Every structure is written in C-alpha cells, then in structure tokens.
Structure 1
C-alpha cells in the first residue's frame, strides 16, 4: 500500500480505491455560517514572548509558574509509537492549531480551520511555518478513538472526528514528520494576545473578487458589524485583527489569501512584542504572561520556558512562511477541495515539491529547500 510522505517511517496506509467513506459526514461536520470560519494559529507568538524569561528573577518565576499552570490538554504519548515517524535530529516541530471555539460554546463543536506546522531548526536561529489548507484532500489514518477514520477526506475532518491526536496522525502520515509539541489557541485567546500587546499593525490587502471590490480600496468584513478595513497599514486591536484574518470570500485566492493574512498576523505579533518593549521590560513581560497564559492549550510535555529560551534570539525576519505545495482547487471524492495529488493513493508521483519539502523538514534542511524553490516562499 502506498503511504503518504516519501520515506515515511510510520505504519498507517492508504485505503483501497473508492474508500472515501467520510465525505457526507465531513460536509455535515464542517457546516456553519461564515461567523464560524477561519482562525489564526498564533500560539507561537505567545511562546516567543516568553523568550526573555531569563531577563530577571521575577520574570523567570512568572514564566515557570505559567509553565506549570498551562492547560495540558493533549497527550501525544497516547498515539502508539509504532504508528509514528522517527525523530531524526534535535530540530523542533511544533503544530500550531487555531480552533474556532468561543467562550460559552460547546468545545465539541469546535473546528481547526487553521493549522501551521512550525519547524524550528536545531540551533534555534530560524523557523519555518507551513500552512496546511483545511480543505486539503488527504488520507485520514485509522484511529480507534475517532468517530470516523481510515478514509480520504478534507484535512480538517480529522479534528472534527478525532481531535488533536487524529490531526497529528494525519499530518505525520502525510509528511513523515514527527510532531513534537502542540499549541492550540481559540478566538478568545487570539484577541487576548493581541490586546495584551496593545494591538498590531497589519497591511490590509484590498478585496479583488467580483462583488466585493470597494472604493476606496479595502475589504469589508462579512462578519458582525461588517467593519471596513482600508487598504494599507492598519493598527488593529484583537477583535479587529481576528475579524480581518478570517476573511476569504472577498479574495480571488480565497482560503490561500486568508492563510497568508494569518501568517502576517503571527509576524505582526512578534514585531509588536518587540516594538512595545515587552521582551525587554520585566514588568511588561510579566504582565503579558499573566494576561495571556489562559489563551493556549498545549501537550503534556511542552515546556514553555525551554521553548522560549530556544527562540529568545528569533525575530519576525527569521520566521519564513509557505503553504503546503498543492495542485490547486478542484473536485475529489465528490467534494470541492484543495488537491494534494491527482491520485490521492499515490501522492508522491504527482506532487514532487511536497515530497521534497517534507523530506527537508525531516532532515532539518528547509533553508536549502527554500533556496531551491524560491517561488514557494510567501512574501
């Protein structure tokens, strides 16, 4: 049986032809109005903000206390070791998940509409964020704890059917990359992080899809109060930033534009932390950690202090983004999807860019991959 991801070291395999048993189910699970769509996985901004924890005893104590009190909701050890890829080096692969859960709503109804595989190289000098389209048509491996599994379907069906662990299984099967840690952030968490920094500045892209072009150029939100964001740099609070990065229908690139704006927000969070002096002022950093520690959920082994120290010299210019190489949009399994491969059961044959990217991540050679594929790096 063909396995997703060249040189994959796990054991899950792709089902026989015609085995997409989950199509109708995922259409139901993923349904909902536009107010439920889109989330930025910006937990890495919170993690990076702890980077100055060694700057003073009070900050160090606060960071250690925060680390102890983090909501450790995910146990990756529950995934059988024989089903997982090998860890080949000391680089870190952090999966950042954006959940659309809101306060007062049932967490069981939440979805992961944003997923970024964040690869930090061995010496902590650079990080690479790879966005995984929620509609990417992939194999979702067998999981006895999931309501549905062992089928081909949209990527974000994995979260709806089996939560974070099935999402990890799906990514590891697709890529052969070992996921070391999880950081999940929801709507309220994102707003809290941005507001704790005093806001962020985002360069707004004007709408270019038919029926959404405005004069003056900008983009009008389809959510809530239909806020208008004028083209160019805009200083935004948490609610505004969340609103802007959720828009997709107004752009010809659709969800790809949305993913790029989410990537912009992560960089803006890092830049805002620097410009506001959060990473260099003990009182500000302590206050920031206190006010945002409830914004994320992590895995049982995640160490915020150690991760912060690893990232302490990193700046937004050291963070490069890209989107999972794909063949564009189309129809597979009776659904409108982002096509990963012409033949979903044999992806290596038709998507060599993705195969070589995942190999570069596994071998900690992403910088070399980007040099060989400059067209794939996000501006």
Structure 2
C-alpha cells in the first residue's frame, strides 16, 4: 500500500458496497487532536466506521461527508517546500475559534504530525508543544501579521500571525518534512464528535497527591481519578487543563493523546458499528466539525486504515531541552540555538530525519524513552 496518487492526495470515490476497504494496519495513524481537543484520528474514523458497517447507504453517507467537508486550506500555493515522499504526513491542528469570534483572534495550541509509513504498517503521532521556541519563517503572505514573521518565537505564534499556511511553513522549516494534508478542529467540533458517539470513557489523570482535579474554567467541574464517562463539553474541559499539573502543557498533551485513544475506542465499539442512526450522526457531525485541505481524500485514506486501533499508535512529543526563559517569557527550549539544533538537540534532528526517510520504527527502537516506549519499565 502506497500513499500516493489518487488514493490519498486527490479526489476519490468510496468502494462499492461489500468491498474489503483495505488491509489491516498494524500501527495506524492518529492525530490530534487538541488544546482544545484535537482529534486527528476521528476524522479518519468517519470512513473507517462506515467501512465496517458495509451497507450501500452507509457508503453513500461517508462519500457525502467527504464531499461536504469544509476544504478551507490550499497547500498548492506554498513555495520552496520539502521533497514529497510516499509516506503520509498530516498536520493536525486544534483551534480555540468559537462561533461569533473573529478568525484572527483564534489560537492553535495543539499541533500533531500524524505519520503513516509507505507500507501502511506503522503510525506515529508527534505532538509539537505550543510554547516550543522555534524560527518562524518570513511569510509576506501571512494572513494577519506578516511583519511579525521572520523571527524566533513560540510555535503557536505561527498560527496567530499567519494562520494554517504560516504554521505549515514553520513545521516544514523546522522538520524538513513535507506536510501532505491539514486537518483542523475547533471547540465546537470536538463537542459534536464526542456527543455523536454518546460520550467517551477516559482515564483521568489528577495532580500528584490528589484524588480529583478541578477545572479552572466555569462551571469548575471536578474530575475524579480513574475512568470517567464524559460528554463533549466535559471532555473538552478536561483536556484544556494544564495549570494544575506540575508539568503543565506536557500534561495537557498527554490528555489530548488519551482523548484521541478514547474517541477511537468509542467509535469502534460494537454499539456504534451496529447502530445505523448513531453511525450516520457520527459521520455527519464530523463532516461539520472539521476543516481540511482541498486535496485530502479523507474517506479513501480512512478506508485503507480501517483496521486501526488506539493501541496501534505510537504517541510522542517533540524532543526538547525542557522549559526556560526567553526575553522574560516562559518557553519550551527546542535548542540552545533554534536555527542550529544539531549540537544541543540531536534527538530531534534524528527524529525529523527518520520521518523524512520513513525509518520511524528504527528511530523508536533506538530512542525508546523519547518515544514513550519504556514507561513503567
């Protein structure tokens, strides 16, 4: 299975009823979503759940959802981009934009690179901390504040200054990895997706020495340690929390990743797969909840990855040097010199090389701690 051509980057139709829908993926892609609840994999589940249903009307609903997606981003206008590769790299962004607010006031405090290898047998979701101090490339076409670009700043400044395209330029400059597609989801989108599933079960993490964590946002919900069943509003509230935890935004990124797993598990339960009404509601609500680029064949991609499970995804965070101060501002330090990270952050440099070369399995084996694979050992 190769992620190129019409199957993944162009328009596509769904297979006829009764089609197999693609091979089982041993380690499939995730996303996510979410300062605000980003759910990269939920997008793909629009079609993967439909594929499991198998009926013609379900296929039609999935195809309609693919056609009805808000295709807000055109990456074809970007110049001086990294070389294309057969692997699939999707940038998942979570926006705090709410209905009635100006687009330029929105922020994106969540970003994940979803990487699926050429063979479709491995998948990795790499979170980029919102406060990672990196070069923001000069971008005269930035949507809001082009004069601010061309300097070092927190990663989420790229979105605040120039929207999605400036963010893509920043990721590609940082990593040398070409971003094939974009998925963006906002507050309301997350709520709709979780509620369409009837809520999700998520294992709540509380601050050390406590039995609960209380939200800092109204209505100040209290979440108990352990598995909680949460609706959309509650799930969004939980994954927004960070100030109560010793490691702050790193805890929030963990919870975002947990949310992706919980959504996947809920969407793939027998109840969802056998309930036509719930399935249709999920597909339709997801199509309303996200924005993608003009060329992303969401349905075709998801059908190829329809065997994915939450345990298949390797989640990790961009290697960094921890928190520090930059001009009186608290940041996550990417490298002592962000424009020359080879000396002080070789782990990150080698990670991006592994993404470009599609050798992530070897990188994870060589860097188990950075990849979160040796916890509890």
User: What value does the CA root-mean-square deviation take over the aligned residues?
Assistant: 1.6
- CA displacement at 1:40 relative to structure 2: 2.2
Paired position in structure 2 for 1:184 = 184
Paired position in structure 2 for 1:14 = none
- CA displacement at 1:279 relative to structure 2: 4.2
- For the Cα contact (< 8 Å) 1:188–1:295, is it kept in 2? yes
Q: 2:224 aligns with which of 214, 217, 230?
A: 230
- CA displacement at 1:122 relative to structure 2: 1.8
- CA displacement at 1:159 relative to structure 2: 0.3
Paired position in structure 1 for 2:28 = none
- CA displacement at 1:39 relative to structure 2: 1.3
Q: 1:249 aligns with which of 227, 243, 247?
A: 243
- 1:105 lines up with 2:101 in the alignment: yes
TM-score, structure 1 length as denominator?
0.85
In 1, Cα distance between equivalents of 2:371 and 2:203:
18
Runs of 4+ in 1 over 6 A off after TM superposition: none
Write the deviation string for residues 153-179 of structure 1: whole angstroms up to 9, x where unpaired: 010000001000000000000000000
- For the Cα contact (< 8 Å) 1:53–1:305, is it kept in 2? no
- CA displacement at 1:276 relative to structure 2: 4.7
Write the deviation string for residues 51-78 of structure 1: whole angstroms up to 9, x where unpaired: 1444221111111111111101001011
Paired position in structure 1 for 2:363 = 369
- For the Cα contact (< 8 Å) 1:329–1:336, is it kept in 2? yes
Write the deviation string for residues 282-312 of structure 1: whole angstroms up to 9, x where unpaired: 5542231122210000001011111111211
- Equivalent residue pairs, number: 334
Q: 1:46 aligns with which of 43, 48, 51?
A: 43
Q: Which runs of 5+ in 2 are unaligned?
A: 1-33
Q: Which runs of 5+ in 1 are unaligned?
A: 1-36
In 2, Cα distance between equivalents of 1:333 and 1:278:
50
In 1, Cα distance between equivalents of 2:216 and 2:247:
16
- For the Cα contact (< 8 Å) 1:49–1:278, is it kept in 2? no
- 1:114 lines up with 2:113 in the alignment: no
- CA displacement at 1:195 relative to structure 2: 0.5
- For the Cα contact (< 8 Å) 1:330–1:336, is it kept in 2? yes
Paired position in structure 1 for 2:261 = 267
Paired position in structure 2 for 1:70 = 69
- For the Cα contact (< 8 Å) 2:72–2:292, is it kept in 1? yes
Paired position in structure 1 for 2:55 = 56
- For the Cα contact (< 8 Å) 2:43–2:298, is it kept in 1? no
Mapping of 1:83-232 within 5 angstroms? 83-88=80-85, 90-146=86-142, 147=145, 148-208=148-208, 214=210, 217-232=211-226
In 1, Cα distance between equivalents of 2:108 and 2:288:
18
Greater CA drift, 130-139 or 56-65: 56-65
